[in-house]
């Protein structure tokens, strides 16, 4: 005997909802899978081109670090001596029309000085105070005389003299523009040789180079004679970029 079973109305409703849920899950899976394939294609099928931009400019400021070193039997005596020398140095800089905002203390250290007896424990025999001033000189014609004058006033060490452009952002922007144009020109020339069609840009990177090396003077230097010859020369700011295109 053939027996036919019919689903009741609630059973039909449940079956319909289960079917719709399975269809929705399948649709989402297919959509995610397709999107992953498209993203993979966009990131793996790429080509990169590099470009370089250079801008040359004359520096308009000099930056230098000045160290004032004092030694004495006590910490207070060393600090007093250092303060007196520091005042002479800053007074001299003021006479050279160096603005107060262009002179700042970049370091101040007090070091105990030890004596090491042959058969005894180390003993403190004095103190050393080291104050460092960072000075910006805007009149480059005065650099040589200022270096000579600060040593006479009490500076023991002149470090990291460098000639810079005070507002370099415009020069960096110009160098970046030249680098991007260089990379785009290479892309336009090479795409036909490589037999490819370029799509959207998917990555961009940039590197900066081209600042002048600092000049050092040894501790205890007595310059004299009108100061050293310190030609400013020119600064070359170089920007390197890499542009990555999607291959269609």
Q: What is the pLDDT of residues 190-243, one digit of tens each?
A: 888 888 889 999 999 998 775 554 444 443 444 444 556 777 778 888 999 999
Tell me how far apart the alpha carbons of residues 118 and 116 are, in angstroms, rounded to a whole number: 6
Per-residue pLDDT at 8: 56
Question: DSSP 3-state assignment of 124?
Answer: strand
Residue 13 main-chain phi, psi, to 5 deg: -65, -45
Provide the pairing of β-strand 198-209 with 157-164: unpaired
Q: What is the pLDDT of residues 150-205, one digit of tens each?
A: 999 999 999 999 998 888 899 999 999 999 999 999 999 988 888 888 999 999 99
Residue 118 confidence class, pLDDT cut points 50, 70, 90: confident
Q: How confident is the model over 71-86, as a mean pLDDT?
A: 97
| Domain locations along the chain | 61-165
Strand order in the sheet with 61-72: 103-115, 123-137, 61-72, 157-164
Residue 14 confidence class, pLDDT cut points 50, 70, 90: low
DSSP 8-state code for residue 141: G
- Of 134, 136, 140, give the one whose Cα is nearest residue 60: 140
Superfamily of domain covering 61-165: Protein of unknown function (DUF541), domain 2 (3.30.70.2970)
The single residue listed with the structure tokens 């030694």 is 71
Residue 51 confidence class, pLDDT cut points 50, 70, 90: very high
SS3 content of the chain, % helix, strand, coil (to 5): 40, 35, 25
pTM here is 0.61
């Amino acid at each position: 005997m053939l027996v036919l079973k019919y689903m009741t109305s609630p059973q039909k409703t449940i079956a319909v909802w289960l079917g719709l849920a399975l269809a929705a899950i399948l649709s989402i899976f297919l959509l995610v899978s397709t999107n992953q394939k498209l993203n993979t294609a966009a990131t793996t099928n790429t080509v990169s081109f590099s470009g370089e931009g250079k801008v040359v400019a004359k520096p308009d400021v000099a930056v230098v670090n000045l160290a004032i070193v004092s030694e004495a039997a006590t910490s207070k005596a060393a600090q007093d001596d250092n303060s007196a020398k520091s005042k002479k140095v800053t007074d001299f800089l003021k006479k050279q029309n160096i603005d107060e905002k262009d002179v700042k203390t970049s370091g101040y250290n007090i070091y105990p000085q030890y004596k090491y007896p042959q058969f005894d424990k180390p003993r403190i025999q004095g103190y050393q105070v080291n104050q460092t001033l960072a000075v910006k000189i805007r009149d480059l014609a005065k650099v040589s005389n200022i270096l000579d004058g600060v040593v006479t006033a009490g500076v023991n060490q002149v470090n990291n003299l460098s000639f810079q452009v005070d507002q370099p952002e415009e020069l960096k922007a110009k160098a970046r523009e030249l680098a991007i144009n260089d990379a785009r020109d290479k892309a336009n020339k090479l795409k036909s040789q490589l037999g490819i069609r370029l799509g959207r840009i998917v990555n961009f990177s940039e590197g900066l180079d081209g600042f002048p090396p600092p000049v050092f003077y040894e501790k205890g230097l007595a310059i004299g004679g009108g100061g050293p010859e310190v030609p400013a020369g020119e600064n070359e700011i170089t920007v390197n970029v890499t542009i990555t295109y999607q291959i269609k």
